Amino acid sequence: MKTSVRMKFFVSLLLLLSAFLWGCSDSSHHTSTPITISVVEMSPNSFTQNGEIVGIDVDTATAAMDEAGVDYVVEMEQSSTVAYDNTLNGSNRALLGIGYSAERQDLFKWVGPTSSSGYYVFAKKDSGLGSTLGLDGTKALDSIAVVTGWLETTSLEDLGFDNLVYYATYDEAVGALLDGDVQALASDGKQLAYKVQGQFSFSDDFDVCFGYKSAFYYIAFSKDVSDEVVAAVQASLDDLIKTNETLAILQRYFPDANETMLPDVLQLFTEVAPPFNYYSGSIVDPDIQGSSVEIVDAIQSRNDYAANVKITGWIDAYATVQYLPNSALFTTARTAEREGLFQWVGPIATLRGSFYTLRDSGITITTLEEAKALGSVATPSNWYTHDYLLANGFDNIVATSFSPLDAFNQLLSGEVDALFMYDEGINWLCDTTSTPTEDIVKQFEETYDEGYVAFSLTTPTSTVEQWQQNLDAMKQDGTFEGIWQSWFDGSELP
């Protein structure tokens, strides 16, 4: 399918919101009755243009089905509820543009991802709400427009939002925001940017109040569609990804797009936690670096295909890898509490947890009990350090930060008395904030853990085993030690 593309101006901001050979088989999977593919108006993923149904998900899914030899017909439904119900309750059907979730995973047979994005709560800039509301501030808004049944909506419901105003279609929800009927709108960032082109400047006229979820869109087949057909379409989609055909499709709608806007065969996440993983330059085209990044790159160099690494927030990535097929997150502390949640490859890093204070505070502590007696201790939310403090009965935890840097700044500002943080990152945090290292006092080391690559339980065991074999070989031939010592000269290997 071909379409003309007029947009270009907002691609860079979208990236901030913030992703083999053809035809190897002679077999086809023609069905006696074509599979009916349901879509709804959801630009740029699926929409009608010049009488033809097009879009990122439509073009990608139909290309995969064509390559697999699967017959189909695409139908535009009047609402997402109708499309969902028809696929859930019908036979020989498929639904495009549906977000994969743990709650839905047993309701359909899945192929994907065909596209990815992020979910955000947007407000008009002239509302004065700003872009730093966070979770609690966004919950306190009077009204947020949402589309009934969409994953953007159910994700907010799961977070306890009770200020949602429901609409049957996306156009109605957007219209409610633009007309001032609601304070904010919950939306896929890519979708809103495409929707308002020509009417508004996406960067100048809208604020992101709160970002809450990475979204991965799939083809959801009705349960009666054969496993053979589903597997063939997945194999074809994987080939499209590996040969950059999916990138070419995306660039029909976002000419400046690069791989960071695309899902991969393996969704490989990392966070900003130097020196293990971080980035320099612009998030539009980040240069992702770090000791763990180099180790993961070396592991993948021994495979036939290397997935792109994506930088995201810890809380989002940690939750995503617990349900999303073929996904992984590093550098993840392997603790007893997390053992059964993932498949593990490693170790690739040491993680020494210590208590730190400001020298000028005059604080001296040598035991956990003394640390508990402080007024407050900061640590990043949902980190293994947070888990440790909770498990040991701390009631003075300030875990409102979402990154090591934010937690470190809480110490520097005097918001907290102490910081519980991994030793390996302290020097980088001092450098980043121009803080003399002598101004930070390490009181005592409390924990020792090791960092791993954590794979989802639904990632094929063969993939995990191959990664571990590659890492073991690197440790035997000296590759791993060479990388480790280049970052931590003289330090003990994990």
| Encoded amino acid at 178, one letter | L
State the DSSP code for 5.
-
Cα–chain center distance at 99: 13
User: Which pLDDT band holds residue 416 (cuts at 50, 70, 90)?
Assistant: very high
Look up residue 317 and give its two tokens. 């990535």
Q: What is the pLDDT of residue 133?
A: 79
pLDDT digits (tens, 9 = 90+) for 253-265: 888 888 888 999 9
Domain ranges of the chain: 11-116+216-261, 117-215, 267-338+455-487, 350-450
Q: What is the pLDDT of residue 28?
A: 59
Q: State the Cα torsion 163-407-291-320 to the nearest 10°.
A: -20
Cα–chain center distance at 417: 32
Q: What is the pLDDT of residue 321?
A: 97
Architecture of domain 11-116+216-261: 3-Layer(aba) Sandwich (3.40)
Four-way CATH pick for 350-450: 3.40.1390.40, 3.40.190.10, 2.40.10.10, 2.160.10.10:
3.40.190.10
User: Which pLDDT band holds residue 282 (cuts at 50, 70, 90)?
Assistant: low
State the DSSP code for 493.
P
Q: Is the pLDDT of residue 22 over 50?
A: no
Range 267-338+455-487 has CATH code 3.40.190.10: yes
Q: What is the pLDDT of residue 234?
A: 98
Q: How many CA atoms lie within 13 A of 219 on its CB side?
A: 31
Q: What is the pLDDT of residue 42?
A: 87
pLDDT digits (tens, 9 = 90+) for 323-366: 999 999 999 999 999 999 999 999 999 999 999 999 999 999 99
What is the DSSP secondary-structure string of 182-196?
SSEEEEEHHHHHHHT
In order of 39, 281, 396, 458, the CA distances from 461 in angstroms are: 33, 36, 41, 8
Establish whether domains 117-215 and 267-338+455-487 are of one fold: yes
pLDDT digits (tens, 9 = 90+) for 181-192: 999 999 988 889
Coil/strand/helix, residue 460: coil
CATH superfamily of 117-215: Periplasmic binding protein-like II (3.40.190.10)
Identify the burial level of 463 via C-beta atoms within 10 angstroms of its C-beta, where 0-12 means exposed, 13-18 middle and 19 or more buried: middle
User: Which pLDDT band holds residue 26 (cuts at 50, 70, 90)?
Assistant: very low
Look up residue 145 and give its two tokens. 């427009």
- Identify whether 347 is preceded by a cis peptide bond (ω within 30 of 0): yes
R_g (Cα) of the chain, nearest Å = 24
Q: Is the pLDDT of residue 447 over 80?
A: yes
User: Which pLDDT band holds residue 269 (cuts at 50, 70, 90)?
Assistant: very high
Q: What is the pLDDT of residue 284?
A: 56
Query: Edge-to-edge, what's the strand order for the sheet holding 309-311?
Result: 309-311, 267-270, 327-333, 440-455, 343-358, 418-422, 377-378, 397-398
Q: Is the pLDDT of residue 473 over 50?
A: yes
Q: Is the pLDDT of residue 197 over 70?
A: yes
Q: What is the pLDDT of residue 147?
A: 96
What is the DSSP secondary-structure string of 238-294?
HHHHHTTHHHHHHHHH-TT--GGGS--SSEEEE--BTTTBEEES-TTS-EEESHHHH
Average model confidence (pLDDT) for the chain?
91
Q: Is 330 left (phi over 0), alpha (psi -120 to 50) or beta?
A: beta
pLDDT digits (tens, 9 = 90+) for 357-389: 999 999 999 999 999 999 999 999 999 999 999
E-only strand ranges, 79-235: 93-99, 109-124, 144-147, 164-167, 184-188, 206-221
* Helix, strand, coil % in the chain, rounded to nearest 5: 35, 25, 35
Coil/strand/helix, residue 30: coil
Q: Could you tell me the pTM of the whole model?
A: 0.83
Alpha-carbon distance of 166 to 122, in angstroms, equals: 16
Judge whether 417 and 364 are in contact, CB under 8 Å: no
- Mean pLDDT for the stretch of residues 8-29: 44
Q: What is the pLDDT of residue 29?
A: 60
